[in-house]
Structure 1
Amino acid sequence: MEEREAAELRSVGEVVDRLAVKYPSVDRAEIARIVDEEHHEFDGRNVRDFVPVLVEKSAKKRVKALQSA
């Protein structure tokens, strides 16, 4: 695995951590599943610089909706 890929995966893992702290009523495994789904939306795309930020934004919306439900 390239260093760039590893750094992206670490950043995406940190997204799970941040959302789990922010939304403690939502199961961490569910948050991880959502983040993983959002991350895979960017598979095959060439530009990777902002993927963790975009994943966090999309996943946060979905997790927030779960907390409200």
Structure 2
Amino acid sequence: MREFSEERAIGEVVARLTARYPALDPTLIAASVRQAHEAFTSCTVRDFVPLLVERHVREELDEGLRATAV
């Protein structure tokens, strides 16, 4: 059985979001992921943290893109 590696999963989140938003600076995406990940430090159940981080950052980036498009 594979051991869950949260850090590896967070790295995969950065990679997916960077591929999804190629027009955005990858360092901005990585910083947003880091900031969102830090918000979950007090969570005791860690299994879904990468998923929640990805959803949060994706919503944040989508809002930012919509705001600049208007």
Which TM-score applies when normalising by structure 1?
0.85
Corresponding residue SS for 1:43: coil
> Residue 15 of structure 2 aligns with which residue?
17
Over the aligned positions, Cα root-mean-square deviation in angstroms equals 1.3
User: Number of paired residues?
Assistant: 65
The one-letter code of the counterpart of 2:55 is K
Q: Which moved more, 1:57-66 or 1:14-23?
A: 57-66
Q: Tell me which structure has the larger Cα radius of gyration.
A: 2
Unaligned runs of 5+ in 1: none
Correspondence for 2:62: 64
> Gaps (5+ residues) in structure 2?
none
Task: State the distance in 1 between where 2:12 and 2:61 align.
Answer: 15
